[in-house]
Amino acid sequence: LKKTRMPHLLSFFVLAILLISQITLGQDKVTSITKQGLREHLQFLASDELEGRRTTEHGFDVASQYLASKFEQYGLKSFNTTAANYFETFDVMKGEGDFENTYFEIISDNQKAQFKANHGVLFFPRSTDSFDITAPIVFVGYGITAPEYNYDDYSGVDASGKVVLMFNHEPQEKDSTSIFNGSKPTRYFNPMVKADIARQHGAIGMLVVRDPNNGHPPIEVTMQRYTRYLTKPIIQLPKDEKPLPTFYLSDSTATELLKSEGISLSGYQAQLDKKLKGSPIELKGKKVTMHIAMKNVQKLPTRNIVGYVEGSDPNLKDEFIIIGAHYDHLGKDQAGIYHGADDDASGTSGVLELARAFAQTSEKPKRSIIFILFAGEEEGALGSLYYTDHPLIPLDKVNVMFQLDMIGRNGGVSYTELNDSLLNQKRANTLMLYCAGDPKTLQETFDKENKKIGLDLVYNNGPEMSGGSDHASFEAKKVPVTFFFTGFHRDYHETTDTVDKINFDKMEKIVRLAYLVAYDLANRPEKLKFQVVPTK
């Protein structure tokens, strides 16, 4: 395709025309992507009527219908044999914690001490599974097995079939010289990692108590703060494997459990931090019961919305570029409606505008372009996990997957930056991009096409960008990905993530850039290849 060029006029006045004139023939519809078009979709998706679009709930269903009707209006093709059906339907499990009937028991000799959920023991529902287990117990320090630090809290103990008790966090947390990455957290800080370790040691239940010497708030304070999250229903994919049942114990409940052993929480923690050597303690003659009850558990259908624009090249049209966003959000609760204007009505509106522009483009790109709006991202990327396990075309035919999640604000990646309004002003033209699989080709293409757009691009391949949205499901299956992100802000996952705070001028540029780069990559002679970049 040839480029048409303007005469050599260097006045500022013609700059805009110049930029447009560099657009190749088939990219002609880029200027049809406008902030007005984006605003129209976004305003509807983030409106009160859609009630925060929580997966399986009413407002989410209304959003599904809206998106599918737009795909139909734009003339997108469907992978379903039934005409104009853009739903990829799948089942999820939904259920709520039954706090009345969930309890923890300490059993010694003929005595029983019972603690109801959220009275001395915090229950944070993580799956729709119920449990009733009674088992011996072992106190495994911080619950860490870390060969790279030559540290093992499980050394010399058999935890199989037992419940493990552990401190939260990691040894020498506040020590800047600690082998556990100084005062910065390592992966062992994460309770999910500790649950994996416990499971590998054969444990069947997990109890976590505060590391008392590090000055963290008591569990009762945490309980207060998270009540609204605790009582929300869980939504997950149907799974064969149950997670490890987990309770958080208050200091007094843990002390009750340890009272006959002559060990104190702070004494044991001090010993571990000092010697940096695991020394697990079996609590002899004691058992615990973890009884977890769930209620209103049901299987419900939900759906991704999928459509595509067919490529123009007889061979390359069987290769694809996927452009995605998630259309679900957090629903509503006592705090109000979680509008999710930025998260992710912004990306969803962007995908709609891209779908329309590509469907109307005079000369279609060589490869085909698939548009997917995912369900269940906020519940743990359920829609993209389902899709990548049940792809509608083979994943090795996918050139690259773009995820647009939160593209409407002037935020940052670190939480300490969120209140810095000066910094946020400076970011009024900034887009962060995470490019993986073939980062070199991707970044070169973004730089090239961005000359026509003029955003400040920041390439960020840090851990804060690699997860956290649907692109991670594709990268895990070795599909090259790019994640478009304008950063976290104070309204992230709050009821205040509203339309009036969206920077539509910037969004227009971002969506136009996505169009140009997708077009460019769709016409590239060679397919992008997934390369594993060595991690440091």
Which residue, 344 or 438, has its beta carbon nearer to Zn ion? 344
Q: Minimal distance in Å, beta carbon 344 to Zn ion?
A: 4
Crossing angle between the packed helical segments 265-275 and 251-258, to the nearest 10 degrees: 90
- Extract the tokens encoding 300: 């419900």
- Extract the tokens encoding 324: 């995605």
Closest CA to 141 of 164, 175, 167: 167
Q: Minimal distance in Å, beta carbon 406 to Zn ion?
A: 6
Which residue, 130 or 348, has its beta carbon nearer to Zn ion? 348
Q: Minimal distance in Å, beta carbon 412 to Zn ion?
A: 16
Establish whether the linkage from the previous residue to 344 is cis, with ω within 30° of 0: yes
Question: Is 343 among the residues that bind Zn ion (CB under 5 A)?
Answer: yes
Q: Which of 57, 273, 319, 344 binds Zn ion (CB under 5 A)?
A: 344
Of the candidate spans 120-128, 339-347, 353-361, 479-487, the one that interacts with Zn ion by CB under 5 A turns out to be: 339-347
Scan residues 240-259 and list those touching Zn ion (CB under 5 A).
none
CA distance 202 to 197: 9
Residues of 196-221 as b/e, b for ≥16 C-beta within 10 angstroms? ebbbebebbbbbbbbbbbeeeeebee
Of the candidate spans 58-66, 304-312, 373-381, 525-533, the one that interacts with Zn ion by CB under 5 A turns out to be: 373-381
Beta bridge partners of 282: 138
Q: Minimal distance in Å, beta carbon 52 to Zn ion?
A: 11
CA distance 100 to 98: 6
Of the candidate spans 41-49, 210-218, 256-264, 341-349, the one that interacts with Zn ion by CB under 5 A turns out to be: 341-349
Beta bridge partners of 87: 305
Which residue, 57 or 405, has its beta carbon nearer to Zn ion? 405
Which residue, 129 or 343, has its beta carbon nearer to Zn ion? 343
Q: Answer whether 183's CB lies under 8 Å from 176's CB.
A: yes
Q: Minimal distance in Å, beta carbon 54 to Zn ion?
A: 11
Residue type, 408: G
Which residue, 55 or 289, has its beta carbon nearer to Zn ion? 55
Q: Minimal distance in Å, beta carbon 339 to Zn ion?
A: 12
Of the candidate spans 156-164, 273-281, 344-352, 509-517, the one that interacts with Zn ion by CB under 5 A turns out to be: 344-352
Of the candidate spans 29-37, 257-265, 374-382, 505-513, the one that interacts with Zn ion by CB under 5 A turns out to be: 374-382
Which residue, 343 or 353, has its beta carbon nearer to Zn ion? 343
Instruction: For residue 153, give Cα distances in angstroms to 140, 166, 172.
Output: 5, 9, 14
Taking residues 390 to 429 in sequence order and writing x for each that binds Zn ion by CB under 5 A, - otherwise, the string is ---------------x------------------------
Which residue, 212 or 383, has its beta carbon nearer to Zn ion? 383
Instruction: Pick left, alpha or beta for residue 68 (phi over 0 → left; psi -120 to 50 → alpha; otherwise beta).
Output: alpha
Strands (E), 98-195: 103-108, 111-116, 121-122, 131-139, 145-146, 151-152, 163-167
Which residue, 152 or 344, has its beta carbon nearer to Zn ion? 344
Which residue, 353 or 378, has its beta carbon nearer to Zn ion? 378
Which residue, 167 or 374, has its beta carbon nearer to Zn ion? 374
Of the candidate spans 209-217, 305-313, 336-344, 380-388, the one that interacts with Zn ion by CB under 5 A turns out to be: 336-344
Q: Minimal distance in Å, beta carbon 493 to Zn ion?
A: 6
Residue type, 457: L
Q: Pairing state of beta strands 368-374 and 294-309?
A: antiparallel
CA distance 466 to 436: 8
Q: Minimal distance in Å, beta carbon 470 to Zn ion?
A: 8
- Give the contacts of 155 (CB within 8 A, at least 6 positions apart): 278, 279, 280
Count of chain residues binding Zn ion (CB under 5 A): 4
Q: Is the dihedral of CA 150, 153, 157, 162 positive or negative?
A: negative
Decide: residue 80, CB within 10 A, 0-12 exposed, 13-18 middle, 19+ buried. middle
Taking residues 440 to 479 in sequence order and writing x for each that binds Zn ion by CB under 5 A, - otherwise, the string is ----------------------------------------
Instruction: For residue 447, give Cα distances in angstroms to 4, 160, 369, 458.
Output: 20, 54, 21, 10
The number of beta carbons lying within 10 Å of the beta carbon of residue 245 is 22
Question: Is 273 among the residues that bind Zn ion (CB under 5 A)?
Answer: no
- Extract the tokens encoding 432: 């962060």
Scan residues 121-140 and list those touching Zn ion (CB under 5 A).
none
Which residue, 313 or 494, has its beta carbon nearer to Zn ion? 494
Q: Minimal distance in Å, beta carbon 67 to Zn ion?
A: 16
Q: Minimal distance in Å, beta carbon 146 to Zn ion?
A: 31
Question: Is 491 among the residues that bind Zn ion (CB under 5 A)?
Answer: no
Which residue, 186 or 384, has its beta carbon nearer to Zn ion? 384
- Extract the tokens encoding 38: 């984006």
- Residues making contact with Zn ion (CB under 5 A): 343-344, 378, 405
